[in-house]
Amino acid sequence: MVKLVFLGKFRGEGRDDLAVPPNVMTLADLKDWLAHRDPALGEALAATRTHVVLNQELVHDMALPIGDGDEVAFLPPMSGG
Protein backbone atom coordinates (compact mmCIF):
# COMPACT_ATOMS: atom_id res chain seq x y z
CA MET A 1 0.00 0.00 0.00
CA VAL A 2 1.31 3.46 -0.95
CA LYS A 3 0.90 6.13 1.70
CA LEU A 4 -0.10 9.57 0.42
CA VAL A 5 0.61 12.91 2.11
CA PHE A 6 -0.85 16.22 0.96
CA LEU A 7 0.55 19.44 2.42
CA GLY A 8 -0.58 23.04 2.55
CA LYS A 9 -3.28 23.95 0.07
CA PHE A 10 -3.27 20.37 -1.31
CA ARG A 11 -4.71 19.10 1.97
CA GLY A 12 -8.25 17.81 1.67
CA GLU A 13 -10.74 15.79 3.62
CA GLY A 14 -9.82 12.08 3.38
CA ARG A 15 -7.10 12.63 0.77
CA ASP A 16 -4.32 11.13 2.89
CA ASP A 17 -6.40 7.95 3.30
CA LEU A 18 -6.99 7.29 -0.42
CA ALA A 19 -6.31 3.66 -1.32
CA VAL A 20 -3.96 3.62 -4.30
CA PRO A 21 -4.83 0.70 -6.62
CA PRO A 22 -2.06 -1.80 -7.53
CA ASN A 23 -2.08 -0.81 -11.21
CA VAL A 24 -0.54 2.55 -10.18
CA MET A 25 3.13 1.64 -10.62
CA THR A 26 4.99 4.95 -11.04
CA LEU A 27 4.75 8.52 -9.77
CA ALA A 28 3.37 9.55 -13.17
CA ASP A 29 0.66 6.86 -12.86
CA LEU A 30 -0.17 8.20 -9.42
CA LYS A 31 -0.55 11.78 -10.68
CA ASP A 32 -2.78 10.55 -13.52
CA TRP A 33 -4.87 8.47 -11.17
CA LEU A 34 -5.32 11.38 -8.75
CA ALA A 35 -6.21 13.78 -11.58
CA HIS A 36 -8.77 11.32 -12.90
CA ARG A 37 -10.41 10.95 -9.48
CA ASP A 38 -10.32 14.67 -8.70
CA PRO A 39 -9.74 17.00 -11.69
CA ALA A 40 -9.36 20.09 -9.47
CA LEU A 41 -6.57 18.37 -7.50
CA GLY A 42 -5.02 17.16 -10.76
CA GLU A 43 -4.91 20.70 -12.06
CA ALA A 44 -3.38 22.02 -8.83
CA LEU A 45 -0.71 19.28 -8.88
CA ALA A 46 0.13 19.95 -12.52
CA ALA A 47 1.20 23.49 -11.58
CA THR A 48 4.91 23.90 -12.28
CA ARG A 49 6.11 24.44 -8.75
CA THR A 50 4.60 21.36 -7.14
CA HIS A 51 7.31 19.28 -5.46
CA VAL A 52 7.07 15.52 -5.12
CA VAL A 53 8.75 13.80 -2.17
CA LEU A 54 9.25 10.02 -2.25
CA ASN A 55 10.22 8.45 1.07
CA GLN A 56 11.41 11.82 2.40
CA GLU A 57 13.57 12.59 -0.66
CA LEU A 58 12.72 15.30 -3.17
CA VAL A 59 12.39 13.66 -6.60
CA HIS A 60 11.98 14.99 -10.14
CA ASP A 61 11.77 11.79 -12.19
CA MET A 62 8.09 10.88 -12.44
CA ALA A 63 9.01 7.51 -14.02
CA LEU A 64 10.23 6.28 -10.62
CA PRO A 65 8.40 3.14 -9.51
CA ILE A 66 6.26 3.15 -6.37
CA GLY A 67 4.80 0.29 -4.41
CA ASP A 68 4.03 -1.24 -1.07
CA GLY A 69 5.41 0.71 1.89
CA ASP A 70 6.35 3.84 -0.11
CA GLU A 71 5.30 7.30 1.06
CA VAL A 72 4.58 9.96 -1.56
CA ALA A 73 4.04 13.58 -0.57
CA PHE A 74 2.81 16.47 -2.70
CA LEU A 75 4.14 19.90 -1.69
CA PRO A 76 2.80 23.23 -2.96
CA PRO A 77 5.12 26.28 -3.26
CA MET A 78 6.66 26.88 0.15
CA SER A 79 5.90 29.93 2.27
CA GLY A 80 7.89 29.72 5.49
CA GLY A 81 9.85 32.28 7.50
Partner 1 sequence: MDIRIAPEPFDPQIEEAGFTAGRRDIGAVVSFTGVCRERTNGEGVGELFLDHYPGFTEKEIARIAADVAERSQCPEIKVVHRVGRLTPGEPIVLVVALSEHRANAFEAVRLLMDYLKTDAPLWKRETGPGGDRWIEPRAEDIARRAKADA
* Contacting residues toward partner 1, per CB under 8 A: 5, 7-9, 11, 53, 56, 73, 75-81
Distance CA 61, CA 11 (A): 23
Q: How far is the CB of 58 from partner 1 (least distance, A)?
A: 8
Q: Which is nearer to partner 1, 23 or 48 (CB)?
A: 48
Q: How far is the CB of 43 from partner 1 (least distance, A)?
A: 15
Q: How far is the CB of 68 from partner 1 (least distance, A)?
A: 20
Distance CA 76, CA 7 (A): 7
Q: Which is nearer to partner 1, 36 or 60 (CB)?
A: 60
Q: Which is nearer to partner 1, 7 or 35 (CB)?
A: 7
Inter-residue contact 59 to 74 (CB < 8 Å): no
For the CA atoms of 64, 49, 30, 62, the dihedral, rounded to the nearest 10 degrees, stands at -20
Adjacent-strand bridge partners of 53: 58, 73
